[in-house]
Amino acid sequence: MEIIERPANKLNARKFIREQVKAIAKAVGDGSAITALSGGVDSSAVTLLGHKALGKKLTTCFIDNGLMRQDEPAAVAKRFEKLGIHVQVLDARDTFFKALKGIRDPEKKREAITQTFYKKVFGSLVKENGARFLLQGTILTDVEETVAGVKRQHNVLQQLGIDPQEAFGYAVIEPLLELRKDGVRKVAKALGLPKSVYQRMPFPGPALAARVVGAVTPENIELVRKATAIVEQELESVKKFQCMAILHEDQFTGLREGKREFGRQIEVRCWKSVDARTAKPVWPAPGVLKKLAKRMTEEIPGVVSVTYNIAPKPPSTMEAV
Ligand code: XMP
């Protein structure tokens, strides 16, 4: 079924919210639903729409897949508790790392994350809860990139011919399917979410696994997690759509304290974009780049090389995997 886009500049956010709340309530009926909150603007908006529509009939879960940023699970749960929404944090770290073990191919990594999320983790959660619906924040750009074969976005199912009811045992409701990121931000603001959420930088569903070239091991994730924290701190005041750190697989000969060190390389990316369909690199001041290099090589053991991406999307994509 073709999805008709609702562009942000023509979107009446309040009307959209009214329509979606009604639609969610109707679809779920007297059943119950679960929402997978990651803390990003899409899943946060869906969580609030769901709560408006379903109240206590909605369970909000944060799946800790071990691939999230520093302190993210606790911070997201705390933010939503403040909004009066209880978040159940589910520790699924081992399950995800086991599923990713030995996989190097980008699309296979994405597939492993999708299967683990929908089949294993959510499948059992839905069974335990007796819920029949999963509410999720898929947006139009996710669908387009997946269908075009650019990247299999973790949350696209129906448009790839996957019937979630048949494959996983529950139905999926996607209230944001006609919007792009700028439209979702408008809706999130109208829902009363704080600026830190509606302006929040996007973060991909496969999380830090989308930023590790080669094997996704707990060690590689920890390394890219540290690099991500540094990038986000140092580029905080730079105007951007998204910034990230990518861990390369190759080893590089470095020199530390007069001795050869065969170490790792971090690539920094910082993007200007409106809707993620195309993007251009931001050109940070040399002093900012210098500080990034200093902190990465001094604070992250084993890192001897730091590069900055200067290619636009296309032909690059924003994430590395
Ligand atoms: P790419 O790398 O495709 O990223 O240029 C475009 C935007 O989408 C985000 N992204 C994802 N978001 N699931 C998501 O929810 C995914 O699988 C996924 N892959 C990429 C990326 O962070 C960027 O904002």
- Residue with CA at minimum distance from ligand 1 atom 21: 204
Beta-ladder partners of 253: 262
Edge-first strand order for the sheet with 58-64 is 87-91, 58-64, 33-36, 133-135, 171-173
Residue 159 is predicted with a pLDDT of 85
pTM greater than 0.85: yes
- Mind listing the domains of the chain with CATH numbers? 8-198 (3.40.50.620), 212-308 (3.30.300.10)
- Which tens digit of pLDDT belongs to each residue from 91-130? 999 999 999 999 999 999 999 999 999 999 999 898 888 9
Alpha-carbon span 133 to 164, nearest angstrom: 10
The amino acid present at 286, given as its one-letter code, is: P
DSSP string for 75-98: HHHHHHHHTT--EEEEE-HHHHHH
- Which tens digit of pLDDT belongs to each residue from 120-167? 999 989 888 899 999 999 999 899 988 888 888 888 988 888 899 999
- Which tens digit of pLDDT belongs to each residue from 182-203? 999 999 999 999 999 999 999 9
Ligand 1: residues within 6 Å at CB? 142, 145, 151, 153-155, 202, 204-206, 210, 242, 276, 313, 317-319
Report which ligand 1 atom has the smallest distance to the Cα of 202: 24
For helices 218-234 and 286-299, the axis angle rounded to 10 degrees is: 150
Our mutation pick for probing the ligand 1 site, out of 159, 228, 273, 318, counting the most ligand atoms within 8 A of Cβ, is 318
